Amino acid sequence: MGDVSYISYVLSAIELLASIVATLHFRKYQFSTEKWFLYFLWYTFLIDTTGLILKIFSLSSFWLYNIFTISSFLFFYFWYYTVLQSKRFKNLVRLLTLFYLITVLLTNAFETLSNQGYAFFIGAIFLLLLILMHFNQLLNSNEVVIIKYKLSFWISTALLLFYIGILPLMLLGKYIDVKGEYFNVILLSLNVILYGCYIIGFIWTKQKYNRF
């Protein structure tokens, strides 16, 4: 049996809580593009639960999280494509998605941990660009006065804070040892922020504002 950190259990509990809250408030966003996030949250919880089981039995979960990382970025790109209204922005999403897929194919053709990190870095940078484009869209619309009630705002805020935090951690990992318990605590903290924003969004949002 493998040694599993308590942080893994806490993370799974947070993911489960966010998924349950999203389910309970589904009626508020069931007719918007944000509805896909309900399925994505349960998918995330399923993946991490499976990964936890694999760790308990000392089995490799690298392949599982590799698939999850790729599918997560593709999901986010798809969602922002549906949310962004500008044709120019939509075309940029297509280009970024294509470039990301090419990056994934190249990194998997030369399988090393550093290559996988490179693909994650590229995927995260592209995602941050899409988040900023979405914020630009919100700030330049008449919905800016009700922005706190829009679920897409809370989702984007959650992703922005998480990836702004995780990217420096990855870059520092090349120069200093950030693994072990300290790394897990920081990662857990970022996930608390991520899922905390999700939960606030699901609770705070109003149905009439979740339409594009």
Is the per-residue pLDDT at 163 higher than 90? Answer: yes
The runs of H, that is alpha helices, within 84-112 are 87-109
pLDDT of residue 44: 98
pLDDT of residue 195: 98
Closest CA to 79 of 19, 20, 131: 131
Is the per-residue pLDDT at 3 higher than 90? Answer: no
Whether the Cβ atoms of residue 73 and residue 100 lie closer than 8 Å to each other: yes
CA dist., res. 106 & res. 125, Å (int): 18
pTM for the whole thing? 0.91
Higher-pLDDT residue of 90 and 141 is 90
pLDDT of residue 74: 98
State the chain's mean pLDDT as an integer: 89
pLDDT of residue 208: 79
- 199 band by pLDDT with thresholds 50, 70 and 90: very high
- 182 band by pLDDT with thresholds 50, 70 and 90: confident
pLDDT digits (tens, 9 = 90+) for 113-125: 555 688 899 999 9
pLDDT of residue 115: 55
Mean pLDDT of 171-178: 64
Mean pLDDT of 73-88: 96
Closest CA to 204 of 141, 136, 148: 148
Mean pLDDT of 79-106: 95
Closest CA to 93 of 110, 118, 69, 73: 73
- Tokens at residue 65, please? 């999280």
- 67 band by pLDDT with thresholds 50, 70 and 90: very high
- Phi/psi of residue 50, nearest 5 degrees: -65, -45
Mean pLDDT of 65-71: 95
- 174 band by pLDDT with thresholds 50, 70 and 90: low
- Tokens at residue 54, please? 């694999």
pLDDT digits (tens, 9 = 90+) for 126-153: 999 999 999 999 998 887 788 889 999 9
